[in-house]
Structure 1
Amino acid sequence: MRTEDFYCDEVLSGETKVKKVLETENVLAYHHTKPFWPVHIVAIPKKHISSLITLEGFYNYLLLELLDLIKKVAARVTKENGACRVLTNLGDYQDSKHLHWHIASGDPLR
């Protein structure tokens, strides 16, 4: 069943088990449940924020914490694989309406 917010409804609720990479009190990085790249990690805030462009200024602290976690994961992926990409989707490209970033390496699997 596809939900509007997979991250709140499935991951953060514990309904879908994930393999955690790094976690703080407010943010989580884990291996994607349906990877598009050989190395595919997702980083999310634990608070619902629908997207980067809807983020309210008073949540900037959360964005900084999320970016710090992404930086650490990206450094690890780059060290292990030689390169990585970091991206977020917006608008129609964003399947789940919860701010999330992909840290990925390798050629697409599909």
Structure 2
Amino acid sequence: MRKDDCLFCKIVAGEIPSTKVYEDERVLAFEDVSPMMPVHTLIVPKNHYDNIGDDIPDDEMGHLFNAVSTVAELKGVAESGYRVIVNTNDDACQTVHHIHVHVLGGAPMNSGDPSKS
């Protein structure tokens, strides 16, 4: 399933180049073009779903999130730690409406708790 005007569907199809980190039959992981951390990798399902609330089959969702640990290992942040983010819809700053998981790491992060900064 593909949406013709979707940027990530075009990346999955190889129509737009990306720096691939990991790929299997169901997901593609590639480097974010505007990284917010030293490690900023996106993982997308090869099938198009607009967002996390798009009735994604359990096995697809599980596979997407199971790829996170593989990407963290490949990027060298599995031991030091990493953050996983899924933005959903416009108010949450989802800029590409194809569900994707951000894996961020490679440097210490501020927790937002002033006692930990």
Same fold (TM over 0.5): yes
TM-score if structure 2 supplies the norm length? 0.75
Match of 1:78 in 2: 77
Equivalent pairs counted in the alignment come to 102
Flag the structure with higher helix content: 1
- Name segments (4+ residues, structure 1) moved above 2 Å: 74-80
Equivalent pair of 2:43/2:68 in contact (CA under 8 Å): yes
Larger radius of gyration: 2
**Which fold has the larger relative contact order, with Cα–Cα distance below 8 Å and residues 6 or more apart in sequence?**
1
Specify the code of the residue in structure 2 equivalent to 1:48: H
Cα distance between partner residues in 2 of 1:107 and 1:94: 24
Cα distance between partner residues in 2 of 1:107 and 1:91: 28
Percent identity (aligned): 29
Equivalent pair of 1:4/1:97 in contact (CA under 8 Å): no
Match of 2:102 in 1: 102
Equivalent pair of 1:38/1:107 in contact (CA under 8 Å): no
- The one-character-per-residue Cα deviations of 1:2-30 (angstroms, maximum 9, x if unpaired) are x963201x312322211211111011111
For the aligned residue pairs, the C-alpha RMSD in angstroms reads 2.2
Contiguous gaps of at least 5 residues in structure 1? none
TM-score if structure 1 supplies the norm length? 0.79
